Amino acid sequence: MKIIRTLNGSVENIKPIWIMRQAGRCLPEYRELRKKSKNFMDFCLNQEMVLEATLQPIKRFDFDAAIIFSDILIIPHFLGQNVSFKEGVGPMLDKPNWDQIINGNIESEIEIIYKTIQLVRNELSKEKALLGFVGCPWTLASYMINSGKTNDFPKLISFVQNWPMFEKLINKLVEVISDHAIAQLRSGANAIQLFESWAAAVPANYRKKWLFDPATKIIQSIRNAIPDAKIIYYGRGIAGDAMVALDQLNVAFGISEDVNLLDLPHTNSCLQGNLDSKKLLNGNFKEDVFNILEFSKDKPFIVNLGHGILPDTPIGHVEEFVRLVRDAG
């Protein structure tokens, strides 16, 4: 598998490529499939639908990896904080019962995800990697505390600085996220991506405590269970800080679109990224792809977007993106 070789440090002549949120979003076949389920969470827990949605972008674009169709909010959902999705609004979470969450266990129903990973791995070509993923503690906590996406991170930060339960919540999330990641890898995922999507909202003086210490614990837990586990850490907007804090842990680093690759600290680790999703949407991306390929020519590098693909992205733009990467070799 080209992506696994790259994560192991191989410098591939033709760089491997996949894109975040490739399963769903811009695909008309996904939108047709999605109509068959009454709500998004039910869709995420339907084996046949997840299998089809996960494989759709491989069939259409021949990416080097599939990523299991799921959602980072599976964790709070199965800790007892019901999650729903409202069109035009996004995720909505029930008011939390913190004692139940912090003292509870992940419900057994989450096993359906691991069985689905087994099905996908059996269907997927042996040359294609299967990626699992988890949300990281700060990002999940932000949704759980706010009962959805917050538009006021300073207010959230002010609250958690003085909330005695916050450290307990982060520790609980470290535990269950680690277990979820390990279970995905044991079920057939070839690598796992850790998503800290709201990392840039954390003030610099709190990043070690709220971002990097929890991430270190998760990575170490995964490695204690699976010593050769392949892990990608994606901290949106803070790649340089993450590389300094976590580089000794032998992980790959996802780089968001707002980071200049030339400004990153030196590393021998694999990097992943970082084409701007908006440029892929509007078609003004060729020069950026060439710059990414020039930067990465002598490095282990996985070509990707800097964030998830935007829903209105034309299929032809994605096809051209893949062609540019493949033709460069």
Of 102, 92, 176, nearest to 136 (Cα)?
Answer: 176
List, for residues 98-137, the tens digit of each pLDDT value.
Answer: 999 999 888 788 999 999 999 999 999 999 999 999 999 9
Q: Residue 20: which pLDDT band, with cuts at 50, 70 and 90? A: very high
Q: Residue 188: which pLDDT band, with cuts at 50, 70 and 90? A: very high
Return the domain boundaries, the chain. Answer: 2-327
| Average pLDDT rounded to a whole number, residues 136-154 | 95
- Give yes or no for a contact between 318 and 24, defined as CB atoms under 8 angstroms apart: no
* Vertex 309 angle, CA 9 and 265, to 5°: 40
* Alpha-carbon span 89 to 33, nearest angstrom: 21
pLDDT at 53 over 80: yes
Of 193, 186, 189, nearest to 218 (Cα)?
Answer: 193
The pLDDT value recorded for residue 310 is 96
Amino acid at 154: P
Of 71, 42, 63, 41, nearest to 133 (Cα)?
Answer: 71
Q: How many CB atoms lie within 10 A of CB 89?
A: 10
Rounded to the nearest integer, the mean pLDDT of the chain is 95
The pLDDT value recorded for residue 138 is 98
pLDDT at 329 over 80: no
**Region of poorest pLDDT, from 58-67, 86-95, 253-262:** 86-95
Tokens of 270: 């694999």
The pLDDT value recorded for residue 275 is 98
- Give yes or no for a contact between 271 and 301, defined as CB atoms under 8 angstroms apart: yes
Q: Considering the entire predicted model, what is its pTM?
A: 0.96
Q: How far is CA 258 from the centre of its chain?
A: 17
* Alpha-carbon span 261 to 239, nearest angstrom: 10
Any idea what DSSP says for residue 17? Answer: B
User: β-strand 90-93 against 83-86: which pairing, if any?
Assistant: antiparallel
The pLDDT value recorded for residue 130 is 98
The pLDDT value recorded for residue 85 is 87
Amino acid at 176: V
The pLDDT value recorded for residue 313 is 97
Q: How many CB atoms lie within 10 A of CB 245?
A: 19
| Average pLDDT rounded to a whole number, residues 158-172 | 96
| Count of residues making up the chain | 329
Q: How far is CA 150 from the centre of its chain?
A: 19
Q: Which has the higher per-residue pLDDT, 87 or 71?
A: 71
What beta strand segments (E) does 77-218 contain? 83-86, 90-93, 129-135, 191-196
Tokens of 205: 């003086």
Residue percentage of the chain with pLDDT more than 90: 92
Of 288, 293, 194, 172, nearest to 242 (Cα)?
Answer: 194
- Give yes or no for a contact between 275 and 302, defined as CB atoms under 8 angstroms apart: no
| Dihedral over alpha carbons 245, 249, 250, 252 (to 10 degrees) | -50
Q: For the packed helices 47-61 and 111-123, what is the interaxial angle rounded to 10 degrees?
A: 40
CATH top-level class of 2-327: alpha beta
